[in-house]
Chains A and B, each alone.
Chain A
Amino acid sequence: MITIDMLCYYSRLRYANAMEKFTYSVLTLLFCVVSRSLAMALLVLAVNGILTVRKGGIPFYRYWRYMMIPLAFLIISTLAVIVNISRTPLDAFAFQIGNYYLTGSYASLYKGVQMILTALASVSCLYFLSFNTPMTDILSVLKKIHCPDLLVELMLLIYRYIFLLLDISFSISTSQDSRLGNRNLKTSMKSFGAMASVLLIRAMAKSGALYDSMEARCYDGRLKVLDEQHPPKSKEIFWIVIFEGLLLIFTIWSKLK
């Protein structure tokens, strides 16, 4: 199983109402992006961290490792905002290279940090949702908010087939390894190409067999399935309303300031 998929099935927040988790994540993300406030980003990071690790029971080291992935990318991409090459030094820092300075201002430094924290806080909202909500629950929420059926059904089938094709690719790769198929770069590339072509053929065959099996169960062009019900809890709704209300007030205040 893919780690992130496995974690959401073991999360203690798995059975919390999916619409509640979805609403919380999306609204919080929205406020983070609109306000661009450092304080709000730090607050959201802290709250999502506590919810995912303490409440959801996701191991801290896993959460930390997943947070590090966008952080590394963000730091590299924000360097372009922070660092300038100029003939005149700016106020924050300056390193002379010949007639030029590798320099940055306090304003750009602040903007860079603001961007990193806002993006991290937004990512933490999505992590909260994906670490604590199985894909099927997310799809049922998308259905409830009237996302087109075709899109939801496609996502459901793609999600199922990712695992099926991963299983096949692992088996093929193991079989190639056992016959020294990945001995060097040349054989590895050849083996990968062979695996890709077999996977395509298998995917086609599997999709044909799957369609037959669905037809055998009176499939009429629409994937009608039931979702397990986890009713919303008033206490959870209360805290979401309070938290999002605070974020709304803070966002309005930061924009009027």
Chain B
Amino acid sequence: MNTTPILKAEDLYFSYDNENSHSLNGFSLEILRGKKVAFMGANGSGKSTFFLCCNGIHRPSRGTLYYCGEPYDYSRKGLLKLRSKVGIIFQDPDNQLFSASVYQEISFGILNLGVSVEEARQEVEQVIEKLEITPFRHKPTHALSGGQKKQVSIADILVMHPDIIILDEPAAALDPKHTVMVNKIVNQLTKDGITVLMSTHDVNYALEWADEIVLLHKGQVLMHGSPLDVFTDKEALAQTNLEQPAVLQLFESLCKKGILDSSLPLPRNLQTLESYIENM
């Protein structure tokens, strides 16, 4: 098994204001291929900045990023190669969708990879079908709902077949129905073996979905580990303005009251907790 991290960050520093303050402040991290990693932390903790560094939009002032063991090459050619492998879906789809038609929008990325028009057409059609965009494929982008815009922005990246997909708060400003739909798409991505990095404030979703959680605080990795390790560390959660997931709070409370046996493995979702109660 290949244990080389697909992405590695080594002591990164990045500043938006001429090194007066740092959005990334000695940030180090390793991510293995095929993992689902949730990035959590207070606003301004450096999540989005790190994501932009991963895609080569920002270049850290110090430190090195590695993709598959190779340090980032910031030449034009190197960046094009990197961006074909590391795709980013921005938080606000209106910052991503530049074209007036859904079809044109989705075709942009794949054509930039230099594939033939015929191949690009096939890929665009496939991704339209896969993400269930067909009902609104003929609509102009400005007439789409928030959820539909998000679907199109995911399709924009998926069509390029990246190895890593970065989602910057994909459920931000979405209603519950569209949040479920986006989560379904994200689950599909991970089933396809794509490494998914996602920033989110939803601790319940992160506990159930993620293989690893990265807690960020003031531009540094405060904690990196399994969801259960991270979400049971109340001190770290408090530092990053996060609360324990509801299912863990309820489990702890039921254990304290002697209703459940505290030796049971920690539940990662409500279904597991429900089965514990049923088997009492």
Contacts and interface: CB of A to CB of B under 8 A. Distances in A.
B75 to A, nearest CB: 13
A157 B156 CA distance: 17
User: Interface range on chain B: under 10, 10 to 19, 20 to 34, or 35 or more?
Assistant: 35 or more
Contact of A217 (B112, B121, B139): B112
Interface stretch (A52-60, A193-201, A219-227): A219-227
B94 A206 contact: yes
Given A209-B92, A219-B112, A226-B111, A134 B156 contact: no
A1 B142 contact: yes
A227 B52 contact: no
A220 B112 contact: yes
B206 interface: no
Contacts of A220: 80, 112
B140 A217 contact: no
Interface stretch (B102-110, B186-194, B228-236): B102-110
Interface in A22-53: none
Contacts of B113: 218
Contact of B84 (A160, A215, A218, A226): A218
A213 interface: yes
A164 B100 contact: no
A225 B120 CA distance: 10
A47 to B, nearest CB: 27
A226 B143 contact: no
Interface in A132-177: 134-136, 139, 156-157, 159-160, 163-164, 167
B57 interface: yes
Given A212-B57, A224-B111, A225-B111, A136 B98 contact: no
Contacts of A213: 88, 90, 95-96, 98
A225 B105 CA distance: 7
Given A5-B140, A223-B108, A217 B83 contact: yes
Nearest to B90: A213
Contact of A210 (B52, B57, B98, B121): B98
A164 to B, nearest CB: 6
A228 interface: yes
20 contacts: A6-B143, A136-B104, A136-B140, A160-B141, A164-B142, A209-B92, A209-B95, A210-B98, A213-B96, A213-B98, A215-B57, A217-B109, A217-B157, A217-B160, A218-B80, A218-B112, A219-B108, A223-B108, A225-B105, A226-B121
